Amino acid sequence: MGGERKEAQMEKGKSEEERKNIKADLIEGLNKWREKHPRATMREIEEEIDRRMSKMRARLITDTVMRSASTGTEKGKKEMCPKCGGEVKKKGKKKRKLETNGGQEIEFEREYVTCQSCGHGFFPSG
């Protein structure tokens, strides 16, 4: 049990460092882009910022999903099927690809479960 808590704390530290890196990458990248495009119009600047923010948003979403996935289900609380309320069985980790509202594709690996009653398979929230 203590090992799980220590691992979660290490993950949190990695996550915080990743978030700092995301911000630094965004600012550094914009500064370099601006040096290469000193005569960019307001529209071009806005488009470049939007493009970079969309990528940053995707990284933050992935980081947040993986961060919450590492915390697992609440202690003592069993995951139940959202369709029928039946008990679920873990089927191992599977890759999942999604597209953000900003059009960026994100991929992460999460625990996948299936309902023992109705067979519904899903990635638990949290």
pLDDT digits (tens, 9 = 90+) for 52-85: 998 888 888 888 877 766 545 555 567 899 999 9
Q: Which two tokens stand for residue 39?
A: 């005569």
pLDDT of residue 44: 97
pLDDT in tens, 19-51: 788 888 889 999 999 999 999 999 999 999 999
Helix (H) or strand (E) holding 38: none
Instruction: Assess contact for 83 and 115: CB atoms under 8 A.
Output: yes
Confidence of residue 90 (pLDDT cuts 50, 70, 90): very high
Q: Which two tokens stand for residue 117?
A: 């009653």
Cα 50 to Cα 43, 59, 79, distances in angstroms: 10, 14, 38
CB atoms within 10 A of CB 99: 10
Domain boundaries, the chain: 1-71, 74-126
Prediction pTM value = 0.59
